[in-house]
Structure 1
Amino acid sequence: MHRERAFELPILWSGRVTTQPGALSGWHHHDRNETSLYVVQGVLRLEFEGFDGHVDAEAGDFVHVPAFTVHRESNPTDLPSVAVIARAGGATPTVNVPAPPGLA
């Protein structure tokens, strides 16, 4: 995943993330930050702790990831995905965590 910062303020970060085909992030959360994504191109798959299955956000979809929500992202397609991100809260941007039980 390649992140490009558009701008950053003490409590707001905004930018673009490009996720290559087959990419898979580790499990993480964004501390007390609230995150909003808008998918511009392709598919961004999200898996969440406590949710059986996944959510596929496609071009034109908005996704909200609440603060402290343990999740991971991937791109299950053969084409790159592009999303615009806004993260508000000013806390640690990413906190890596072990995989939730049964979701390794």
Structure 2
Amino acid sequence: MDQGRDEVRVARPGDRRPGPGTEGMDRQEAFATEGMWSGFVRTEPGAVSGWHHHGDHESVIYVVTGSLRMEFGPGGSRTVEAGPGDFLHVPKGAVHRESNPSPEPTDIIVTRAGTGQSTFNVDGPAPD
């Protein structure tokens, strides 16, 4: 038996490490393996993240508290909003940015599946 591979692990809040940085977001890594990344992200009220994408990773986001607005698409022209209990799916390579339009912090849980670097900060939205 491969103890590392077959062992169930728990990541408590104090166990989380700083995750890949994007302006306006506090990413905390809970787990990272060769094909998966999972963690907690907090966005403060009124904060807007920098534009970024996740390369070969697709992401699933669960909103725990607050409100999440995500801009994406050509020129950042598309927007979705999600609140507590909602899930979002972000495809591989989709350039986007998140913001928190609510008066309280937004807490989300993110899990990404893919390989290689998981976050790429870019200068702006996808071209028109």
User: Who is 1:75 aligned against?
Assistant: 100
Q: Structure 2 vs 1, CA of residues 6 and 53 (structure 1 numbering), >3 Å: closer, same or farther?
A: same
State the aligned residue count: 103
User: Who is 1:22 aligned against?
Assistant: 46
Q: Does 1:11 align with 2:39?
A: no
Q: Percent identity?
A: 49
TM-score, structure 2 as length reference: 0.74
CA-based RMSD of the aligned residues comes to 1.9
Which protein is bigger by CA-based radius of gyration? Answer: 2
Quote how far apart the aligned CAs of 1:96 are: 1.5
Distance 1:101 1:83 in 2: 24
CA contact (8 A) 2:59 2:110 kept: yes
User: Who is 2:77 aligned against?
Assistant: 52
Distance 1:81 1:21 in 2: 7
For 1:29-85, what per-residue CA distance to the aligned partner results, in whole angstroms no more than 9, with x for missing partners? 100101000001111110002263411110010000000101001101110011110
Question: 1 or 2, which has the higher strand percentage?
Answer: 1
Q: Paired residue for 2:63, among 27, 35, 39?
A: 39
Distance 1:100 1:30 in 2: 13
Q: Does 1:88 align with 2:116?
A: no
Where relative contact order (Cα < 8 A, 6+ residues apart) is larger, the structure is: 1
Quote how far apart the aligned CAs of 1:101 are: 7.3
Distance 1:13 1:53 in 2: 26
User: Who is 1:100 aligned against?
Assistant: 125
Question: 1 or 2, which has the higher helix percentage?
Answer: 2
Partner of 2:94, secondary structure, is coil
- Which ranges of structure 1 fall in alignment gaps of 5 or more residues? none
- Which ranges of structure 2 fall in alignment gaps of 5 or more residues? 1-24
